[in-house]
Structure 1
Amino acid sequence: MTEELKHIGPRLRALRNDRDWTLDEVATRAGISPSTLSRLESGKRQASLELLLPLTRQFGISIDDLVTPKAADPRVRRRAIRRNGMVITPLAPEGSPVATYRITYPPVATPPEPQVHDGFEWLYVISGRLRLLLGSQDLVLTNGEAAEFDTRIPHSICAAGKRSAQVLSIFNNEGIRMHTHAPGDDMHTHSPGDDTNP
Structure 2
Amino acid sequence: MANSFAVLASRKNVGDMADGLDQVGARLRAARHAHGWTLEELAARAQMSVSTLSRLESGKRQASLELLVPLTRQLGVRIDDLVAAPTVDPRVRRSVIRRDGMVIAPLAPEGSAVNTYKITYSPDPNGCSELRVHDGYEWLYVIAGRLRLRLGEQDLVLARGEAAEFDTRIPHAMGAAGNRPAQIISIFNEAGVRMHTHGAAAEVDAP
TM category, shorter: 0.7 to 0.9
Cα offset, 1:98, TM superposition: 0.2
What is the distance in 1 between the residues matched to 2:157 and 2:81?
Answer: 50
Q: 1:175 to 1:114 in 2, by over 3 A?
A: same
CA shift for structure 1 position 6: 2.8
State the one-letter code of the partner of 1:139.
L
Q: Counterpart of 2:178?
A: 161
Distance 1:186-1:154 versus aligned 2 partners, 3 A rule: farther
In structure 2, the partner of 1:195 is none
Matching residue within 50, 61, 79 for 1:43: 61
Contact 1:104/1:164 (<8 A) preserved = yes
Structure 2 partner of 1:72? 88
| Residue-by-residue CA offset, 1:7-40 (whole Å, 9 max, x unaligned) | 3543257649989x97546524654212332453
- Say yes or no: does 1:146 pair with 2:133: no
Aligned match of 1:6: 21
Question: What corresponds to 1:126 in structure 2?
Answer: 143
Change over 3 Å in CA distance of 1:67–1:16 after alignment to 2: closer
1:141 and 1:186, CA in 2 relative to 1: closer, same or farther beyond 3 A? farther
Cα RMSD (Å): 2.9
Letter matched to residue 147 of structure 1: A
Match of 2:125 among 91, 102, 109: 109
When normalised by structure 2's length, the TM-score is 0.76
* Structure 2: runs of 5 or more not aligned: 1-6, 8-16
Secondary structure of the residue aligned to 1:179 is: helix
- Describe the shift of the 1:13–1:171 C-alpha distance in structure 2 as closer, same or farther (beyond 3 A): closer
Equivalent residue in structure 2 for 1:82, among 79, 85, 98: 98
Residue matched to 1:52: 72
CA pair 45-179 structure 1, distance change in 2 beyond 3 A: closer
Contact 1:120 1:172 in 2 (8 A): yes
Check the 8 A contact 2:152/2:172 in 1, yes or no: yes
| 161 and 151 in structure 1: CA distance in 2 versus 1, 3 angstrom threshold | same
The amino acid of 1:122's aligned partner reads W
2:10 corresponds to which residue? none
In structure 2, do the counterparts of structure 1 residues 24 and 103 end up closer, same or farther at CA, with 3 Å as the change threshold?
A: same
Aligned length: 185
Mark the runs of 5 or more structure 1 residues left unpaired by the alignment.
192-198
Conserved in 2, the CA contact under 8 Å of 1:122 and 1:149? Answer: yes
In the alignment, residue 27 of structure 1 is paired with which amino acid? A
Q: For residue 203 of structure 2, what is the amino acid of its counterpart?
A: M
Secondary structure (helix, strand or coil) at the match of 1:140 reads strand
Aligned to 1:3, the other structure's residue is in SS state coil
The alpha-carbon distance between structure 1 residues 39 and 169, as it changes in their structure 2 partners (threshold 3 A), is: same
- Cα shift at 1:190: 4.3
Out of 81, 96, 100, which is 2:116 matched to?
100
> Is the Cα contact below 8 Å between 2:24 and 2:82 reproduced in 1?
no
